Amino acid sequence: MSDPRPQESETQPKLPKSLFPHQTPAAASSSTAPKDDDVPAGMTKLPNGVILDKDGKPCRLCTSAASWRALTKQAKSQTAAGTAPAATASNASASAPAPSPMQAQCPPDVEELGRSTWTFLHSLTAAYPAKASPEQQSEMRSFLSLFSRLYPCWVCAEDFRTWMAEPSGRNAPRLSGRADFGTWMCEAHNEVNRKLGKKEFDCRFWEERWRTGWKDGSCD
Ligand SMILES: Cc1cc2nc3c(=O)[nH]c(=O)nc-3n(C[C@H](O)[C@H](O)[C@H](O)COP(=O)(O)OP(=O)(O)OC[C@H]3O[C@@H](n4cnc5c(N)ncnc54)[C@H](O)[C@@H]3O)c2cc1C
The confidence band for 119, taking pLDDT boundaries of 50, 70 and 90, is very high
Question: Is any ligand 1 atom within 6 A of the Cβ of residue 117?
Answer: yes
Rounded to two decimals, the pTM is 0.80
Domain final residue, candidates 75, 96, 128: 75
Q: Are residues 118 and 207 in the same domain?
A: yes
Q: What pLDDT score does 25 carry?
A: 38
Give the distance (Å) from ligand 1 centre to CA of residue 140.
20
Q: Are residues 71 and 162 in the same domain?
A: no
Q: What is the pLDDT of residues 152-192, one digit of tens each?
A: 999 999 999 999 999 999 999 999 999 999 999 999 999 99
Domain membership flag for residue 140 = yes
Domain membership flag for residue 158 = yes
Domain membership flag for residue 188 = yes
Q: Are residues 206 and 125 in the same domain?
A: yes
Q: Are residues 128 and 187 in the same domain?
A: yes
Give the distance (Å) from ligand 1 centre to CA of residue 157.
13
Higher pLDDT, residue 64 or 101: 64
Distance CA(175)–CA(184), nearest Å, equals 8
Domain membership flag for residue 23 = no
Q: What is the pLDDT of residues 26-49, one digit of tens each?
A: 333 334 444 445 566 666 778 888
Question: Is any ligand 1 atom within 6 A of the Cβ of residue 96?
Answer: no
Closest ligand 1 atom to 159 CA: 8
Domain extent, residue 120, equals 109-211
Question: Is any ligand 1 atom within 6 A of the Cβ of residue 201?
Answer: yes
Domains held by the chain: number: 2
Higher pLDDT, residue 22 or 150: 150
Residue 144 has pLDDT above 50, yes or no: yes
